[in-house]
Structure 1
Amino acid sequence: MKPDTTAPLTFGMLVFDEVEVLDLGGPFEVFSTAGRLARTAADEPLLRVLTVAPTVRTVRARGGLTIVADHTLDEDPPFDVLVIPGGVTTAVERDEKVVDWLARRRRTSALTFSICTGAFLLAATGALDNRPATTHWEDQEELARRWPDVRLCTDVRWVDDGDIVTSAGISAGIDASLHVVARLFGEQLARRTARQMEYLWTDTRA
């Protein structure tokens, strides 16, 4: 996928109660920083991020951090890239409205990116059946047990399988986010973003 330099790409990120703070904040920082560093021909950020919550805009992340989302599922805002952070996903896995929305938006997105146990939500849609994926090392056994058709990859920071990228846990999501930036907009922007963040980018999957 080549970026359109006349219009920004929008990243739509699901947020929910008990979302892992760094699963959310790490990728958000990468994408928003890249957006500040790169502009379109119309001098807009080349990429921007919006957040979407299941029913009400205010959610409480792990550790008690309160987040006010930009939209709810019912508002169903347009975006180009679907981002699914992890955390305690038990409740949202059981929410048919969330799972159906993720399944639909995955099909209409140019790229879907899950972080950590966000892979559980993606697996619940059936999108990972017979495809390689990863998640936090602590949750890999459960992912394999619950969704045996997923081709689990271990000891990697992320897995890029074309239209789906999955990352290992928490801080690995930052490395994978920089990979997404490099893939969509070029390695130079990814490295500028990492430098701006003063982050030592692990730019290999292993």
Structure 2
Amino acid sequence: MVDITAAIVCFDGFDELDAIGPYEVLENGARAGGSVETRLMTLEPTDRVTASHGLRIEPDGVLEDPDSPDLDLLLVPGGGWADGGGVRTVVADGRLPDLVAQLYANGTTVASVCTGAMVLADAGLLEGRPATTHHDAVADLEAHADVVDARVVDDGDVLTAGGVTAGIDLALWLLEREFGADVAQRVAREMEHERRGEVVR
């Protein structure tokens, strides 16, 4: 039985580590005793998604697929904000922010890594809330959120993480929050990752 069903949404130009770092943490969490299933999902059917550094992945399914199970957690990676691709493209397109808002309204906890916070901002989820992002996007995020200088910000049903590697700390915090410190510690040890910074709550 899976207690938490998580999806990491992937789109052309997403930053590899923003998505794959948390994916590996959550998958290791499942092996360490956490009841979580994690999948890489897209907005529309596709055989392949190309990330910002050229990594190509084969997604597990489509977020809008009516046959998809209810999601407990949706994680939005960043990538491309500074150079006009990736996140800027999906924000301009509008479909991903709209879907994020819809999933949130249906009870899904939403998290972001790096400039994925700009998707959450466009979805209207960060108004009046503490949040963080990559340092390159802080000025842009300040128009939508109470920006906090932190590696991970947990505001209950909305979580944000700073740039790139902070996604690993975000995912470890999610394991700790949902399954206990022992699971998170076992995963951090397995991955030889030294957790950094206090979680702002």
Query: Same fold per TM (> 0.5)?
Result: yes
Q: 1:11 aligns with which of 6, 10, 14?
A: 6
Which residue in the other structure is 1:51 paired with? 40
Structure 1 runs of 4+ with >4 Å offset = none
Partner Cα distance (2:123, 2:171) in 1: 22
C-alpha spacing 1:56/1:110, structure 2 compared with 1 (3 Å): closer
Which residue in the other structure is 1:169 paired with? 163
Where 2:14 maps in the other structure, the secondary structure is: coil
1:20-64 deviation digits (Å, cap 9, x = unpaired): 00001110010000011216xxxxxx1110121122332100111
Which residue in the other structure is 2:90 paired with? 92
Q: 1:202 aligns with which of 181, 196, 199?
A: 196
Asked if structure 2 preserves the Cα contact closer than 8 Å seen for 1:81 and 1:109, the reply is no
| Larger CA deviation: 158-167 vs 101-110 | 101-110
Q: Is 2:126 the counterpart of 1:128?
A: yes
Unaligned runs of 5+ in 1: 1-5, 40-45
Where 1:165 maps in the other structure, the secondary structure is: strand
Partner Cα distance (1:85, 1:21) in 2: 8
C-alpha spacing 1:59/1:29, structure 2 compared with 1 (3 Å): same
Which residue in the other structure is 1:80 paired with? 72
Partner Cα distance (1:55, 1:33) in 2: 27
Where 2:199 maps in the other structure, the secondary structure is: coil
Which residue in the other structure is 1:102 paired with? 100
Asked if structure 1 preserves the Cα contact closer than 8 Å seen for 2:26 and 2:38, the reply is yes
Q: Is 2:57 the counterpart of 1:67?
A: yes
The Cα RMSD (Å) is: 1.6
Length-normalised TM-score, structure 1: 0.87
- Cα offset, 1:8, TM superposition: 3.2
Partner Cα distance (2:104, 2:112) in 1: 11
Q: Is 2:186 the counterpart of 1:192?
A: yes
Partner Cα distance (1:49, 1:141) in 2: 32
Aligned residues: 191
Where 1:105 maps in the other structure, the secondary structure is: helix
Partner Cα distance (2:197, 2:33) in 1: 20
Alignment map for 1:36-47 (pairs within 5 Å) = 36-38=31-33, 46-47=35-36
Unaligned runs of 5+ in 2: 81-86
Where 1:7 maps in the other structure, the secondary structure is: coil
Partner Cα distance (1:138, 1:149) in 2: 15
| Larger CA deviation: 19-28 vs 105-114 | 105-114
Letter in structure 1 aligned against 2:72: D
Which residue in the other structure is 2:84 paired with? none
- Cα offset, 1:112, TM superposition: 1.4
- Cα offset, 1:110, TM superposition: 4.4
Where 1:49 maps in the other structure, the secondary structure is: strand
Letter in structure 2 aligned against 1:53: T
| Larger CA deviation: 9-18 vs 99-108 | 99-108
| Larger CA deviation: 63-72 vs 103-112 | 103-112
Length-normalised TM-score, structure 2: 0.89
Partner Cα distance (1:100, 1:111) in 2: 15
